[in-house]
Chains A and B, each alone.
Chain A
Amino acid sequence: MAIGCNCNVGLSNTGRPNCVPLFSVVSSMIAAPLFANDGTRNGIDLNAPLPVWADLVNEVDASKRWFPIPAFENVELPKADSQFEEANSGRMVFLRQGKRSFSGELWADDSTPTFLGKLQANRCVDFGIYIVDVNGNLIGSEENGFLYPIPVDNPSWDPKFAFATDTTAQKIMLGFDFDRLFDESTMYMITPDEAGVNFTTLKGLIDVNILDVVEVAGVSITFDAKLDYGTALNKILFKGATVSDFELYNNDTATVETIASVSENLPTEGNYTLSFAFVSGDSYTLSVVKAGFTSSYTFTAI
């Protein structure tokens, strides 16, 4: 959005109500793709019933999903100086506003190299962020009845890992610039009272990897389910799941199949057998739909 003069009006009126909502200190953020794969722009329709926030985080379609990022420490949002051209006379003419940058640190359990890898992947996607302040307000860009994520200049997205030292903890330092054309006067917030949720409580999904899949033709598949996190030798297991925690989607018929049963093959934790009458040659996608987790494993039934 261009930021300049509006020649159709004079000076803007400067009165204000006695009580206006103000943003507080930035705590965390929620990343979201600017556009979904179907071409629609991702935003909150302010003229419709508010969405189920947990559903946005748990959305199957990653191009529509919200990706909450944990709380930051030492957040700074400096604004570079505006650019002017100065004549020999000393007269200055406004050229453009300076860019807004973000820097913050993720500490403790949020500072793993595994999480670093997930943040680094964001650079390849055109995305924006909703800012979440310490009071749980959600801050975005209000435009034509929608609250959109604030666009990020994604090539500037730069998460960096920092090793612990004698005096400092391990951390991830994240820096990026907002889109240089973003008009900060469009920022509005939704409060926790309005939303029915404190936005600092939203958590991102945890990836589950479906591994070592063995299929018994027409009746079952057996697989391991592990997280990305853990040690090199022992990844954290996805344990204790039941049949409702899995979804089997038939890509050929575009329908969700009704799984017959799922059994965790104890004492081998994280190893499951899923029973279903697989149709030979059909393509299926097995997903974890347990709240807080996600996975996607596509295979063709033998």
Chain B
Amino acid sequence: MATKTAQNKKRLPFTKAGMHNFKSINEAIKYFSLLENGKRSRRSVSFLFVETFELNVGSFSINMASYLNDNKMFEKVVGNYLKSKPTLAAKVKVSVENWIKENDLKQKGVKDDSKAENLETEKAVDIAKVEPEDLK
């Protein structure tokens, strides 16, 4: 299994690497708020979780956890913003593709276990379908 449930995790570090073990921000908050796991505040967990999956293209800042969880919704809401910015949309497309290649999603998936094995290929295909012209 590529990911584990929070109950099975033992002393995960409060680091970006540790955040890759969680499927969602709420799961990370639940885990790190426990006294035995550091009793971290919600805002500190929220910040670190999103920072882990943050991809910045100039002043445009993407949460790749959102993309990995529901790429259709991501394309809808982000595409709405980028539709009048074709140059930025093209840069975002390339950056997202590169991010997926650089991050070993089989090891660090935030998706369901059952889908983790196909995650890298699946997501690469999804983002490839989004041409800048489509976002206009």
Contact = CB atoms under 8 A, between A and B. Distances in A.
Contact of B59 (A219, A244, A245, A264): A264
B62 to A, nearest CB: 5
B47 A244 contact: yes
B45 to A, nearest CB: 9
A266 interface: yes
Contact of A256 (B26, B59, B62): B26
B44 interface: yes
A244 B80 CA distance: 21
Interface in A269-302: 273, 275-277, 287, 289-291
B44 A52 contact: yes
B47 A291 contact: yes
A260 B61 contact: no
A58 B78 contact: no
B63 A261 contact: yes
Contacts of B24: 258
B59 A243 contact: no
B43 A287 contact: yes
B47 A290 contact: yes
Contacts of B51: 244
B31 to A, nearest CB: 13
Contacts of A244: 47-48, 50-51, 54, 61, 63
Contacts of B80: 216, 219-220, 275
A59 interface: yes
B63 A258 contact: yes
Given A48-B35, A52-B40, A247-B43, A219 B76 contact: yes
Contacts of B81: 219-220, 261, 263, 273, 275
A83 interface: no
Interface residues of B, number: 36
A260 B56 CA distance: 12
Contact of A60 (B42, B48, B63, B77): B42
B44 A55 contact: yes
B98 interface: no
A266 B35 CA distance: 42
A200 to B, nearest CB: 21
A262 interface: yes
B74 interface: yes
A51 interface: yes
Nearest to A55: B41
B99 interface: no
Interface stretch (B5-13, B64-72, B101-109, B119-127): B64-72
A178 B81 CA distance: 54
A262 B42 CA distance: 20
Interface of A: 48-49, 51-52, 54-56, 58-60, 216, 218-220, 241-245, 247, 255-256, 258-266, 273, 275-277, 287, 289-291
Given A58-B41, A259-B63, A260-B67, 9 more contacts: A51-B39, A55-B44, A220-B81, A242-B61, A244-B47, A261-B62, A261-B78, A262-B61, A264-B59
Interface of B: 24-26, 29, 35, 38-44, 46-48, 50-51, 54, 56, 58-63, 65-67, 69, 73-74, 76-78, 80-81
12 contacts: A54-B44, A58-B44, A60-B43, A220-B81, A243-B50, A245-B47, A258-B24, A258-B65, A259-B66, A260-B74, A276-B66, A277-B76
